[in-house]
Amino acid sequence: MIDIHVHVLPGVDDGPRTLEEGVAMCRLAAADGVETLVVTPHQRHELWANEEPAALTAACSAVQERLGGAPRLLLGAEIRVDGDLLDLLAGDGGRSVVPLAGSHYLLLEFPPFPTRLPPSELAQELAIAGWRPIVAHPERIPWLAEDPAALEALVAAGALLQVTGSSVTGGMGRGAAECCEWLLDRQLVHFIGSDGHNLHARPPLLSPAFRAVAAGWGEGTAQRLLCENPARVVADAAIPGGG
Ligand SMILES: [Fe+2]
């Protein structure tokens, strides 16, 4: 499996505090069957701006060095959406944000309150500019999760949806689980990521979600959401039926 949403870089956001914990998280993921982690520190968040991609690259290299060759780490970011994002991307061609694994895929985190620009319009603008927007855990953003029309419009506009593994398995509450079920029933989910933040409360595990999706929606769907589509992100290739 490939995890496209996980926080393992120490000291840059609300992920691990130490290099040791970050390394232990990666080893836990590897033992769970994850061979590649696209690590996604928060970026442009009000608490964790992480404006210097070079600093994140260095932090990623430090963890990889301690791990040796496996699991493989690739750098990305979870980019907070605000009213300036489109102008920023247009202004510097995206040099100040970190796409997933050097691809054209951007992992976007919508704020907990509705944005002035409707999400589907943002997705459309990003797609026109050549980006492939992925919306991080819409099931955990109440104003999106409670608006089925907005979720459908997002996908229709070219966005891809990543839900969190522990949401699917019920660890994030009934509302998040029901939203995931609704999305999975309509084939509106493109990826499952762990959104792991630490070793114990939010561990970087994917196999429980793989089993839950395989049981409810078939082994092929689990393969697609946890292995095949994430591999296409790493290869910067299009997702069939999406984007
Ligand atoms: Fe996250």
- Nearest 5°: phi and psi at 64? -60, -40
Distance between CA atoms of 220 and 110, rounded to whole angstroms?
29
Q: What is the mean pLDDT of residues 35-46?
A: 97
pLDDT tens digits for range 190-220: 999 999 999 999 999 999 999 999 999 999 9
Answer whether residue 241 is part of any domain.
Answer: no
CA of 193 to the centre of ligand 1 (A): 9
DSSP symbol at 13: S
Q: Look at residue 93 in the predicted model and tell me its pLDDT.
A: 82
C-alpha to C-alpha distances, 184 to 24, 56, 68, 235, nearest whole angstrom: 31, 33, 36, 24
Number of structural domains in the chain:
1
| Residues measured by CB to lie within 5 Å of ligand 1, the ion | 78, 195
Q: Look at residue 242 in the predicted model and tell me its pLDDT.
A: 66
CA of 103 to the centre of ligand 1 (A): 18
Q: What is the mean pLDDT of residues 232-238?
A: 98
CA of 164 to the centre of ligand 1 (A): 9
DSSP string computed for 91-134: HHTTTTS--GGGSSEEEEE--SS--SS-HHHHHHHHHHTT-EEE
pLDDT of 243 > 70? The answer is no
pLDDT tens digits for range 59-97: 999 999 999 999 999 999 999 999 999 999 999 888 999
pTM of the model: 0.97
Q: What is the mean pLDDT of residues 167-174?
A: 97
For residue 68, the domain's CATH number is 3.20.20.140
Domain that holds residue 113: 2-234
67 contacts: CB under 8 Å, gap ≥ 6: 23, 26, 27, 73
CA of 64 to the centre of ligand 1 (A): 20
Answer whether residue 239 is part of any domain.
Answer: no
CA of 94 to the centre of ligand 1 (A): 20
Q: What is the dihedral of CA 228, 152, 107, 28, to 10 degrees?
A: -50
CA of 34 to the centre of ligand 1 (A): 17
Q: How confident is the model at residue 241 (pLDDT cuts 50, 70, 90)?
A: confident
pLDDT of 51 > 60? The answer is yes
